[in-house]
A and B are shown apart, each in its own frame.
Chain A
Amino acid sequence: MTLTMLIAPFVVLNVVIGMVTYVTLLERKFAARMQSRIGPYRVGPHGLLQPIADALKLMMKEDIVPTAADRSIYNLAPIVFLLPCMLIFATIPFAPGLGVADLNIGILFFLAVSAMEIVGLFMAGWGSNNKYALLSAMRAVNQIISYDLPFIFSALVPVLLAGSLRLSDIAAAQGGGYWFIFYPVIGQLAFLFFIISTLAAENRVPFDILEAESELVAGFRVEYSGMKFALIQLGEYAHVIGSSYLGALLFLGAWGGPGPEWLGPIWFTLKAVVLFLLVTWVRWSFVRIRVDQILALSWKVLMPATLLLLVATGMVVVWRIAP
């Protein structure tokens, strides 16, 4: 019992880190193909060793701490940022009974922990003592306050449909191909809102005002170098992958798919990767929108829409139970 308790997190953490490094390559290749380029090609066959070369380069880089930085906060920030991004994988069941912890409040845990990410982000922005970094952190706080609620509301729709907060129950409720994305009207709308607010929660294009290369250089991580930069980057991609898994679990039937049961985790991962590619597709197709447009979209469109959708879902569920 205790041994598996130690081994499971170890395995999951390493698999996630491995996935994150290779997902960066996938994104670069995908983006390159979209722009009629080849992408990384020189390191290893078809550039397959590129992520390892990147990691080695980052490990060997000099670690620079700005003189005027708030030293303790600056040094702690990457760790505080990475921690919640990794913790979200704790509740995800990769197959029936295969996960670190199948909590009865699974989705709530996921939402609560991923909301903690902002603390590390703000520490990085503030501790760097850099105007770009601080502006970026300010924007991040703004954006996360605005998009937390639509994110939670749209994730609650599958919870209502399945009648459980436990992630494995939500997945099991979609068994036999009744994925929640196929639920008439409600499913598609909830999925759309979920994707939009996930994009915002992950600070990806078109909601990347806090990174905004053209105005804020690289935002809150502009002063970071070497391994600390790598940790922040790792956290960001882990968050994206974690949200993709959550989306695949909530709407795409998690481990459900044709073939024998042991293919479950592979189907699940494939669905998560498809969601990740969807996000990447958006990233390389759209332009960044302005701060006021982002806030208006959240408060004037997504908030009322997701709330109404939640009420509608509640009605459907009540009528379904007592016709």
Chain B
Amino acid sequence: MTGEAVAFYALSAMLVVSALAVVLSKNLFHAVLWLALALTGTAGIFLLLDAEFLAAVQLLLYAGGVVTIVVFAIVVTERLVGETITQTNRRIAGGALVCGALLWLLITTVLERPLATERPIMPDDLTKAIGESVLTRFVLPFELLAVLMLAALLGAIYFARPEE
């Protein structure tokens, strides 16, 4: 096995374990930390696929940002100290069924097509290529996303303003 394959399997094992721990751990705070690990592992997979830009963005936005916000949500919604916050998993069987079906669907779809064994040729500076395509070919979706975020921001301000 090449070093890349070893890294891939190690990262995948970490991802699967931490993702399972997110939904199965009883303590909500532990679940958030497992989520952070899972998101960091995803960044590692991106890094293995030569997508450095995506990996950094994954860390910056998800692992850093989302965890911060989730932590905020826990602390704001639940009582502060001394309480063990438990999360209930009453539908483990149903969830497992749905996940299994999804996994089967994914595996069959992937196996139907021949897997690329050769590395595709990529531009030297991938980050530059991403930047250029976002501002030329995909400029409309990009701008629409900006509008969507602006709307979300305005909505948040609307809800956060003090009652008259």
Q: Which residues of A contact B (CB under 8 A)?
A: 70, 73, 103-105, 108-109, 111-113, 115-116, 118-119, 122-123, 126, 129-131, 134, 138, 141, 144-145, 148, 165
Contact = CB atoms under 8 A, between A and B. Distances in A.
Interface in B126-142: 126-127
B18 to A, nearest CB: 13
Contacts of A130: 81
A115 B59 contact: yes
Given A105-B127, A111-B56, A118-B68, 4 more contacts: A105-B53, A112-B60, A118-B67, A122-B71
Contact of B81 (A108, A119, A122, A129): A129
Interface in B28-59: 29-30, 33, 36, 40, 52-53, 56-57, 59
B64 A112 contact: yes
B118 interface: no
Closest 9 CB pairs of A and B: A115-B64, A112-B60, A112-B59, A108-B56, A112-B56, A105-B52, A105-B56, A109-B56, A119-B36
A103 B126 CA distance: 12
Main secondary structure of the interface of B (DSSP, over half): helix
A108 B52 CA distance: 10
Nearest to A68: B82
A115 B53 contact: no
Interface in B70-100: 71-72, 75, 80-82
Given A73-B30, A134-B80, A118 B64 contact: yes
Contacts of A115: 59-60, 64-65
Interface residues of B, number: 27
Contacts of B57: 108, 112
Contacts, number: 68
5 contacts: A104-B127, A105-B52, A119-B67, A141-B72, A148-B65
B71 A141 contact: yes
Nearest to B43: A112
A286 B40 CA distance: 38
Contacts of B56: 105, 108-109, 111-112
B33 A119 contact: yes
Contacts of A105: 52-53, 56, 127
A301 B56 CA distance: 28
Contacts of B52: 103-105, 109
Contacts of A123: 33
B105 to A, nearest CB: 33
A122 B63 CA distance: 13
Nearest to A72: B30
Nearest to A130: B81
A296 to B, nearest CB: 15
Given A104-B127, A126-B29, A116 B63 contact: yes
Contacts of A129: 81-82
Contacts of B75: 134, 138, 141
Contacts of B65: 115, 148
A103 B55 CA distance: 12
